[in-house]
Structure 1
Amino acid sequence: MQQAGEATKKTLTPRGERTRAALVAAARTVFERDGFQNSRLTDITAEASCSTGTFYTYFQSKEEILDAVFEMAHEDMLHPGFPHVDADDDPVVVLEAANRAYFEAYRRNAKLRLVLEQVSGISPEFRDKRRARGRVFAERNARQIERLQERGLADPDVDPDRAARALSGMVSRMAYNAFALGDEAEIDELVETSTLLWANAIKLASPVTRAE
C-alpha cells in the first residue's frame, strides 16, 4: 500500500521539492543533534522555518521523515563517487578507490549512523529497513567478486555472497568505530588495512601478476 508521503513526492512542484528538501535537511540536523527519541516535530519545523501544517503536507510522522533522511544518506554512501577507474584497471587499485570513497561517505554520515543504531534497537521496522539497505551493499560486492573470479583474478573457491557479507560487515564496522564512536583512525590507515584484508581474503591479484 502506498503511503501518502510517497504519493505526494511523485507530484511535487519545484517549490514543493525545495520545501520537502528543506524539511529533510532540518530533520537531519535535529536528529543528529538531539537523537530520535528526544526530537519533536516542532523542533524540525522550527529548524525548517515552516509550520506544522506544512510538515504534514509532505510527511505523516516523525518516523516517515527519519526514513527519508536515512534514504538520502544511503544513496550518498552507495554512490559516493570516486576517482575514475576503468574496468580493466588493477583490481586492487579499484578496490582501494571504492574503500576510500566509502570511508569518506561514512564520515559525512557518522552522526546519523548513531541515530540509526538508536532506532534499530527499538523499531523492528527500521531494523528491517537497515538490513535491506545493508544487503544492497553486500549484493553489489558479491557481483564484483564474481566478475573478478570470471577474469581469473580472485579465488574461485570463495563463495561470493558469503565473502561479500563478511567483508562488507568488516569495513562497515571499521568505519563505525572510527567515525561514529570516535576511534580517531586516519582514513589512509583504514583504506590501507581494509584493502589489504579484502585482497587477501579473496586472493586478489592484478592481471599482470596472474599472467606471470
Structure 2
Amino acid sequence: MTEPLTERGARTRERILDGAREVFEEQGFLDTRITHITRRARVAYGSFYTYFPTKESVFFELADRLFEDMHTHEPAAGAAPAERIRRANRAYYEAYRRNARMMAIVEQVASFNEEFAERRRKHRALHVERSARAFRGWQRDGIIDASLDPETVARALAAMIEHSLYLWLVHDDPGGDNEVLLDTLDALTARALGLPS
C-alpha cells in the first residue's frame, strides 16, 4: 500500500500529469520522452518516478480522466427520449471538443498497445451499456421499436456519433455548422430507434 501524498506531493503529481498531457498532445505518444514531460512540468527527472513507473502509466491515468469526462453526464430526468438524446449528444460533443487533441492520441495508442486497447474497450462498454439500459426501458414502455437489439443499437449509434465527432473535431473536417451536425446526429439516432418524429 502506498503512503498518501502530502499536499506538495499531490501538486507535483498534478504538474506532471498536466505537463504530460500537453506534451502528448503536441508530440504524440511515440515521440514523447519522460525528459520532455519533466521539463514541461518543471520537475526533476527523478521526480517523475516518484509518482509514475513509466510513460505508459501517466498516459493511462490521463486517459482514464479523459474517459470519465467524456462519458459523465446526467441524463435529463423526466425528459422525453428525443430530448434526452439531444442533451446527451450535446454533452458528448462538448466533452469531445474539450478533449479532441488528446482523443487523437488515444486513437494512436489504442492501435498498438493491447493493454490500453482493452482499457478503452471497458470504458466504451460502460457507455454502451448505459445507452442500452435506456433503450430497454423505452422498449418496455412501448416508445421505441421492440424488435431492435438494444446493445447492438447502442454500439452502432455510439460508433456513428464518436467517429463523426472524431473526424469533425480531430481532423478539422470542414463539414459546416456544428449545430447542423448535432441536429443530424439527433435525427439519425431518433430514426434508428423508431422514435416518432
Whether the TM-score (by the shorter chain) exceeds 0.5 is: yes
Aligned partner of 2:14: which letter?
Answer: A
TM-score by length of 1: 0.86
Q: Say if 2:52 is the partner of 1:62.
A: no
The residue aligned with 2:167 is 177
What aligned pairs does 1:153-192 form with structure 2 within 5 A after superposition? Answer: 153-185=143-175, 186-192=177-183
Give a deviation string over 1:1-47, Cα, whole Å, max 9, x none. Answer: xxxxxx54x72233322222221111000000011111110111111
Give a deviation string over 1:82-112, Cα, whole Å, max 9, x none. Answer: 7x832x2221111101101101111111111
The 2-side partners of 1:20 and 1:205 are apart by: 50
SS of the residue 1:36 aligns to = helix
The residue aligned with 2:29 is 36
The 2-side partners of 1:147 and 1:17 are apart by: 43
TM-score by length of 2: 0.92
Aligned partner of 2:44: which letter?
Answer: S
Counterpart of 1:45 (choices 17, 38, 44) is 38
Counterpart of 1:23 (choices 13, 16, 39) is 16
Counterpart of 1:76 (choices 54, 69, 93) is 69
What aligned pairs does 1:78-117 form with structure 2 within 5 A after superposition? Answer: 78-79=71-72, 81=73, 85-86=76-77, 88-117=78-107
8 Å CA contact 1:177, 1:183 repeated in 2: yes
- Structure 1, unmatched stretches of 5+, are 1-6, 207-212
SS of the residue 2:30 aligns to = coil
The 1-side partners of 2:193 and 2:44 are apart by: 54
Counterpart of 2:185 (choices 186, 194, 197) is 194
- Structure 2, unmatched stretches of 5+, are none
Describe the shift of the 1:55–1:143 C-alpha distance in structure 2 as closer, same or farther (beyond 3 A).
same
Give a deviation string over 1:159-193, Cα, whole Å, max 9, x none. Answer: 11111011111100111010011113432122111
What's the offset of the Cα at 1:124?
Answer: 1.4
Give a deviation string over 1:183-208, Cα, whole Å, max 9, x none. Answer: 134321221111111111111248xx
What's the offset of the Cα at 1:118?
Answer: 1.5
SS of the residue 1:92 aligns to = helix
SS of the residue 1:122 aligns to = coil
What's the offset of the Cα at 1:151?
Answer: 2.0
The 2-side partners of 1:90 and 1:184 are apart by: 32
SS of the residue 2:32 aligns to = coil
